[in-house]
Chains A and B, each alone.
Chain A
Amino acid sequence: MKEQTFKITAETGVHARPATLLVNKAGQYESEVEVSYNDKKVNLKSIMGVMSLGIPNGAEITITATGGDEEDALKGVSEVIKEHLGE
Chain B
Amino acid sequence: MDMVRTKDLLENFTLTLVAGEDGLHREIITSDISRPGIEMTGFFEYYPKERLQLIGKTEMAYFLSLSDEQRKDRAERLCTDITPGIVISRGMDIPESMIEAANKSGVPILQSPRKTTRVISRLTNYLEAKYAPSTAVHGVLVDVYGVGVLITGQSGVGKSETALELVKRGHRLVADDSVEIRQEDYDSLIGNSPPLIEHLLEIRGLGIINVMTLFGAGSVRNYKKISLIMNLELWDEKKQYDRLGLEEETMKIMDVHVPKLIVPVRPGRNLAVIIEVAAMNFRLKRMGVNAAEEFSDRLTKMIEQEKDGLE
Q: Are A49 and B156 interface neighbours, CB within 8 A?
A: no
Quick one: CB contact mask for A43-62 with B, threshold 8 Å, 1 for yes? 10111110111100000000
Q: Are A48 and B156 interface neighbours, CB within 8 A?
A: no
Q: How far is the CB of A48 from chain B (nearest CB, A)?
A: 3
Question: A21 interface residue, CB < 8 Å from B?
Answer: no
Question: A27 interface residue, CB < 8 Å from B?
Answer: yes
Nearest CB in chain B to that of A48: its residue = B177
Question: B310 interface residue, CB < 8 Å from A?
Answer: no
Q: How far is the CB of B295 from chain A (nearest CB, A)?
A: 39
Question: A42 interface residue, CB < 8 Å from B?
Answer: yes
Chain A residue total in the interface (Cβ 8 A): 14
Q: Are A40 and B136 interface neighbours, CB within 8 A?
A: yes
Q: Are A45 and B178 interface neighbours, CB within 8 A?
A: no
* Partner-A contacts on B (CB < 8 A): 136, 138, 155-156, 176-178, 193-194, 196-197, 200, 202, 208
Q: How far is the CB of A20 from chain B (nearest CB, A)?
A: 10
Q: How far is the CB of A66 from chain B (nearest CB, A)?
A: 13
- Of residues 28 to 77 in A, which have CB atoms within 8 Å of B's CB atoms? 40-43, 45-49, 51-54
Instruction: Report how far A40 CA is from B155 CA in the complex, Å.
Output: 19
Q: Are B197 and A48 interface neighbours, CB within 8 A?
A: yes
In the complex, what residues of A have CB within 8 A of residue B208's CB?
48
Q: Are B138 and A52 interface neighbours, CB within 8 A?
A: no
Chain B interface main SS type: mixed
Q: How far is the CB of B43 from chain A (nearest CB, A)?
A: 40
In the complex, what residues of B have CB within 8 A of residue A54's CB?
196
- The 9 A-B residue pairs with the shortest CB-CB distance, nearest first, are A48-B177, A52-B194, A45-B155, A49-B178, A43-B138, A46-B177, A52-B197, A49-B177, A48-B197
Q: How far is the CB of B167 from chain A (nearest CB, A)?
A: 15
Instruction: Report how far A70 CA is from B177 CA in the complex, Å.
Output: 22
Instruction: Report how far A80 CA is from B138 CA in the complex, Å.
Output: 23
Instruction: Report how far A41 CA is from B194 CA in the complex, Å.
Output: 12
Chain A interface main SS type: mixed
Task: Point out the residue from A27, A46, A52 that lies within 8 Å of B196, measured CB to CB.
Answer: A52
In the complex, what residues of A have CB within 8 A of residue B155's CB?
27, 43, 45-46
In the complex, what residues of B have CB within 8 A of residue A47's CB?
177, 202
Nearest CB in chain A to that of B156: its residue = A27
Q: How far is the CB of B13 from chain A (nearest CB, A)?
A: 28
Q: Are B196 and A49 interface neighbours, CB within 8 A?
A: no
Instruction: Report how far A49 CA is from B155 CA in the complex, Å.
Output: 11
Instruction: Report how far A41 CA is from B136 CA in the complex, Å.
Output: 7
Instruction: Report how far A4 CA is from B186 CA in the complex, Å.
Output: 36
Nearest CB in chain A to that of B1: its residue = A39
Q: How far is the CB of B276 from chain A (nearest CB, A)?
A: 23
In the complex, what residues of A have CB within 8 A of residue B138's CB?
42-43, 46, 49
Instruction: Report how far A52 CA is from B180 CA in the complex, Å.
Output: 11
Q: Are B136 and A48 interface neighbours, CB within 8 A?
A: no
Q: List 19 A-B contacts (CB under 8 A).
A: A27-B156, A40-B136, A41-B136, A42-B178, A45-B155, A46-B138, A46-B178, A47-B177, A47-B202, A48-B178, A48-B197, A48-B202, A49-B138, A49-B178, A52-B177, A52-B193, A52-B194, A52-B196, A53-B194
| Max count, chain B CB within 10 A of own CB: residue among A42, A47, A49 | A49
Instruction: Report how far A31 CA is from B196 CA in the complex, Å.
Output: 27
